[in-house]
Chain A
Amino acid sequence: MKRKSDKAWYALFVLPLVFVFTTVVIIPFFIGIGYSFISWDGMPLNKKTFVGFSNYIQLFSDKNFISSAGHTLLFTVAAVLIINILGLAFALLVTGKLKVRNIARTMLFMPYLIGGLILGYIWQFIFTDVFKSIGETTGLTNIFFSWLLDPKFSLFALIIVATWQMAGYIMIIYITGIQAIPEDVVEAAQVDGANFWQTLFRIKFPLIMPSFTICLFMTLSNCFKIYDVNVSLTKGGPNRATEMLAMNIYNEIFSLNHYGYGQAKAIIFFVVVAVITLIQVSITKKKEVVM
């Protein structure tokens, strides 16, 4: 930046977005750190008391928060595994020579475009009334009953809906990886007498390693932060059995009016998400060197 006019142009191009971004993201982030050290009920006229680290210390004895972290972890691990296995299987099927591949690709991706909130409502109907009605007509009442009334089954329900939403999306990323595999490599392996499974595990999987990394961590961070589906499908119930971390934070702040304490949870939530994502970046970097 040598000349004055260059500086003016720079400011004109960069400042508007930087201004909006600072007021919406940066300033609230730092203010949020401040809020996590106070005790406040959210009423503008009521006093804010500085309490130091006691909000953070309180977290470790908060049964609801710990059990919610447990549910989130369980949900995330199960959902990430199922979504990736299904997404990869779909991707392998639709990149093959099957006749239904195009229509399948279209249909499998569609749920990702319908918002999580609306998906949750759709499935709420399925898991309550439709399941009950199927159970009554078939007599299989131990499988088909109102899943959302049972703590364990409502967690399964949440996993199914998350899978329904994201597997098609993950499929698209795997497809891109699979299509980038040079055909002559696969052909060479087949000429050498490799069977289907050998081609799959020895040739294709190592070559789509970068897609694995992307998909794993995409699903990891999406599942960990799940909120919309949670709200519309189970509202955290029955009896808080499916209250995920994002919802726990929301309720702590806006329902229980524990603004300071809830914000401390939100900061811890950020730290966990950041750590997960940073691990991802370092692994991705390593993979890039290998490739």
Chain B
Amino acid sequence: MKRVVRILGEILLLAACAFYLFPVYMVFVNSFKNRQELYENMLALPGKFTKEYYVTAMEKMRFLKAFSNSLIVTIISIAIIVVLASMTAWMLVRTNDKLSKTLFMIFVATMLIPFQTIMMPLMQVMGWVRNNLHIPMLESLGGLIYMNVGFGASMAVFLYHGFIKSIPVSLEEAATIDGCNKFGVFSKIVFPMLKPTTVTVIILDVIWIWNDYLLPSLVLSGEKLRTIPLSTASFFGQFTIQWNLAMAGLMLTIIPVIIFYLCAQKYIIKGVAAGALK
């Protein structure tokens, strides 16, 4: 009886995996087929593996440009979020006064605001800044990075705040007595200790910023500045009928994610779990 249940469990789980893999399999096999082959049998393996559609899709999507844009935006946004949020959270925890408590409350409370509620006025504000202060907040990767930092602030401060509360002050005090200033204490003693939370913040923000579509679509419209989701969206707008090209394009966007996942799987799963439980 127990063995039957167990085998049933194995089969169930394998079936779930097959169901999960099926769409990716479909994208994969059809990215190699020509039009006729594709409509003859979509489920079958391709007759031959050709890189033809990948090359075309890469050109049409300006894939390398989009990839490097995505990389720039993701890395710089996250670097700034990690540095500024950890600094802020540390000061807020270690300075126990009304101002700190209020600021922290505001950070947490704004996590309730959905993006749709701010998107239109945000574009107005950034348009105003561009027109009157001549800082290119729109149509620039810098502007997108700035806004990512603003949107990522709350959660990062919240996660760091919770962790810093649990580490004792004594080490920091000892360093202060030894003549370290606040910046030295933070960069040499506190920041290295925050590593677990930093990993969590990085993982959660990579998933968010790399895949973010709505904000970049409002900020960037130029072809040269497109991130991967934007170039995928415009590519699909043009080529919906040519499924083989479209599939090759999709495969191109999935591959980096899968590589990232397989390399950092342990951290990703830990980070996602830690981020949710806080």
Contacts and interface: CB of A to CB of B under 8 A. Distances in A.
- The 5 A-B pairs with the shortest beta carbon distances in the complex, nearest first, are A24-B150, A115-B211, A28-B121, A32-B121, A17-B84
Contact of A25 (B5, B103, B110): B110
A164 B16 CA distance: 10
B150 A114 contact: no
Interface string B264-278: 010011001100110
B160 to A, nearest CB: 11
Given A100-B14, A107-B17, A173 B125 contact: no
B251 to A, nearest CB: 10
Interface in A225-258: 225, 227-228, 231-232, 246, 249-250, 253-254
A20 B84 contact: yes
B169 to A, nearest CB: 15
A115 B210 contact: yes
A50 interface: no
A27 interface: yes
A13 interface: yes
A270 B117 contact: yes
Interface stretch (A70-78, A198-206, A260-268): A260-268
B243 A125 contact: yes
Contacts of A105: 269
A259 B112 CA distance: 22
A289 interface: no
A121 to B, nearest CB: 6
A109 interface: yes
Contact of A266 (B120, B153, B261, B273): B120
A78 to B, nearest CB: 18
A27 B272 CA distance: 30
B85 interface: yes
Nearest to A180: B277
B115 to A, nearest CB: 8
Given A110-B261, A115-B229, A164-B20, A262 B120 contact: yes
Interface string B92-126: 10010100000100110010111111111110110
B167 interface: no
A134 B39 CA distance: 11
Contacts, number: 242
A270 to B, nearest CB: 4
A254 B276 CA distance: 33
A173 B277 contact: yes
Interface stretch (A54-62, A91-99, A149-157, A184-192): A91-99
A117 B157 contact: no
A126 B116 CA distance: 29
A138 to B, nearest CB: 11
Contact of A18 (B88, B114, B115, B124): B88
B250 interface: yes
A21 B195 CA distance: 23
A90 interface: yes
Contact of B118 (A13, A29, A113, A196): A29
Contact of A100 (B13, B39, B90): B13
Q: How large is the interface on A (under 10, 10 to 19, 20 to 34, 35 or more residues)?
A: 35 or more
Given A121-B250, A176-B273, A214-B277, A14 B91 contact: yes
Given A9-B182, A93-B12, A101-B13, 19 more contacts: A1-B95, A13-B186, A14-B91, A16-B87, A16-B88, A28-B124, A31-B124, A90-B16, A98-B9, A105-B269, A108-B16, A111-B20, A121-B232, A125-B27, A173-B273, A228-B229, A231-B213, A267-B117, A273-B113
B214 interface: yes
A45 B259 CA distance: 49
B159 interface: no
A283 interface: no
B214 A130 contact: no
Contacts of A53: none
Given A25-B118, A109-B269, A228-B214, A14 B250 contact: no
A82 B258 CA distance: 26
A104 B17 CA distance: 6
Contact of A13 (B122, B182, B253, B261): B182
Contact of B150 (A21, A97, A101, A117): A21
B273 A123 contact: no
A140 interface: no
B207 A112 contact: yes
Contact of B13 (A94, A164, A168, A259): A94
B112 A28 contact: no
A228 B114 contact: no
A41 to B, nearest CB: 12
Contact of A133 (B24, B42, B116): B42
